[in-house]
C-alpha cells in the first residue's frame, strides 16, 4: 500500500499535479470502494458524480488543498467528510464529523419502514443523527408528522441543515434528548418507531475510517446489546399496541436478540448480502 501511495504522489509530481482521471481512479480503487473513488474524483474536478463516464478520459489538476485531502483519504479519513456529502436512498445528505455517515445497508431500514408507513402516519426516529432515516421516510411516504431524537446537539445541528435542504421543517421536528426518556414524549401517538442505535461492541475491531466518526454513535456496552435491552423495556410499555418498531442490527446479533425479545412478535429481514440487518417488532 505504501508503494502505491508513493507511486500516486510521484505521478502527481511528475505531471505538475495534472493526472488522468482514469489513471487516478485505477490507483484510488486499490484503497477505496469504486463509488467512493468516483465521488472523490468528482469532488476534485467539481463535476457531477452522475456524469463520471463523460469525463473519465479528462485530466484534472490536484492542487494543494486537494492534495491535502487526498493524503488524508489515503490515511483512511472518510471520503464523505471530505465531500461533505453522502448519497442515501437517492438523495444527497450533508454530513461532517458531527454525525455517523449513513450506510447503504441502512436503506433497508427505510424500505421496511415504508411498508408500514403512509400518508398521515406519524414517525418517531431514535438516535436520528443526520436525519437521513426520518427525512427519507417523511419525503417518500408524505407522513403527517415526524420526530427525530438524538442526545448529541452537534449531530442535530447537521440534521437541521438537512431538514432545511429538503424543506420539510413543516412536518418534522428535532429534539435534543436521551432516547431512554422517550416515555415522556407521548410516543403512544406514533405509528412507527425507527432506530439505528450504536451496536458495535467495545471489544470489536473496526476499520480505521470508522474511528473518525462519533464513537457515541457506533459503540455500545454489553457487547453491543445495551440499547436493544433498555429500549425493549421502555418501548414495550410506552408504545401503543400494534405500533411497528424497527431496529437496524449488526451481523451475528440475531441469536441473542431472539433470546432478548423472546415472546415478542418479531422477525428479521436480510440485506442483499444475505445478512440479517433489520429487526421488525410489532408491539402487542
Q: Does 194 reside within a domain? A: yes
3-state secondary structure of 197: coil
Q: What is the pLDDT of residues 235-252, one digit of tens each?
A: 999 999 999 999 999 999
Q: Does 105 reside within a domain? A: yes
Identify the pLDDT of residue 74. 85
Domain that holds residue 40: 2-75
Q: What is the pLDDT of residues 3-50, one digit of tens each?
A: 666 766 676 666 567 888 888 888 889 888 999 999 999 999 888 877
pTM of the model: 0.92
3-state secondary structure of 227: helix
For the chain, the average pLDDT equals: 91
Q: Does 90 reside within a domain? A: no
Instruction: Name the percent of the chain lying above pLDDT 90.
Output: 67
Q: Is the pLDDT of residue 276 over 90?
A: yes
Is the domain of 36 the same as that of 139?
Answer: no
Mean pLDDT of 111-119: 95
Is the domain of 152 the same as that of 241?
Answer: yes
Q: What are the CA-CA distances from residue 98 to residues 129, 152, 158, 166, 259 (Å)? A: 8, 9, 7, 19, 34
How many domains does the chain contain in total?
2
Q: Is the pLDDT of residue 190 over 80?
A: yes
Say how far apart CA 122 and CA 145 lie, in whole Å.
Answer: 5
Q: Does 118 reside within a domain? A: yes
- Predicted confidence band at 185 (pLDDT cuts at 50, 70, 90)? confident
Is the domain of 47 the same as that of 101?
Answer: no
Is the domain of 117 the same as that of 180?
Answer: yes
Length of the chain measured in residues: 284
- Predicted confidence band at 254 (pLDDT cuts at 50, 70, 90)? very high
Is the domain of 157 the same as that of 224?
Answer: yes
Q: Does 54 reside within a domain? A: yes
3-state secondary structure of 38: helix
Amino acid at each position: 500500500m505504501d508503494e502505491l501511495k508513493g507511486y500516486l504522489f510521484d505521478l502527481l509530481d511528475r505531471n505538475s499535479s495534472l493526472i488522468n482521471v482514469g489513471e487516478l481512479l485505477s490507483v484510488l480503487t486499490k484503497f477505496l470502494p469504486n463509488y467512493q473513488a468516483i465521488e472523490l474524483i468528482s469532488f476534485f474536478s467539481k463535476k457531477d458524480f452522475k456524469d463520471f463516464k463523460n469525463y473519465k478520459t479528462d485530466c484534472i489538476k490536484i492542487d494543494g488543498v486537494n492534495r491535502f485531502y487526498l493524503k488524508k483519504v489515503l490515511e483512511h479519513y472518510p471520503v464523505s467528510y471530505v465531500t461533505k456529502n453522502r448519497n442515501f436512498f437517492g438523495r444527497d445528505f450533508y454530513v461532517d464529523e458531527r454525525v455517523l455517515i449513513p450506510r447503504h445497508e441502512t436503506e433497508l431500514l427505510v424500505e421496511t419502514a415504508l411498508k408500514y408507513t403512509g400518508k398521515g402516519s406519524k414517525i418517531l426516529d431514535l438516535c436520528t443523527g443526520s436525519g437521513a432515516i426520518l427525512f427519507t421516510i417523511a419525503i417518500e411516504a408524505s407522513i403527517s408528522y415526524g420526530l427525530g431524537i438524538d442526545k448529541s446537539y452537534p449531530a442535530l445541528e447537521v440534521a437541521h441543515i438537512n431538514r432545511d435542504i429538503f424543506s420539510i421543517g413543516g412536518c418534522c421536528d428535532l429534539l435534543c434528548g436521551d432516547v431512554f426518556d422517550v416515555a415522556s414524549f407521548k410516543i403512544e401517538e406514533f405509528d412507527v418507531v425507527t432506530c439505528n442505535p450504536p451496536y458495535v461492541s467495545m471489544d470489536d475491531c473496526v476499520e480505521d475510517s470508522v474511528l473518525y466518526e462519533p464513537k457515541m454513535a457506533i459503540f455500545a456496552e454489553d457487547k453491543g446489546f445495551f440499547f436493544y435491552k433498555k429500549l425493549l423495556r421502555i418501548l414495550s410499555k410506552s408504545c401503543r399496541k400494534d405500533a411497528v418498531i424497527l431496529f437496524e442490527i449488526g451481523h451475528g446479533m440475531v441469536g441473542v436478540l431472539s433470546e432478548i425479545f423472546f415472546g415478542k412478535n418479531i422477525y428479521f429481514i436480510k440485506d442483499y448480502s444475505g445478512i440479517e440487518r433489520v429487526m421488525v417488532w410489532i408491539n402487542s
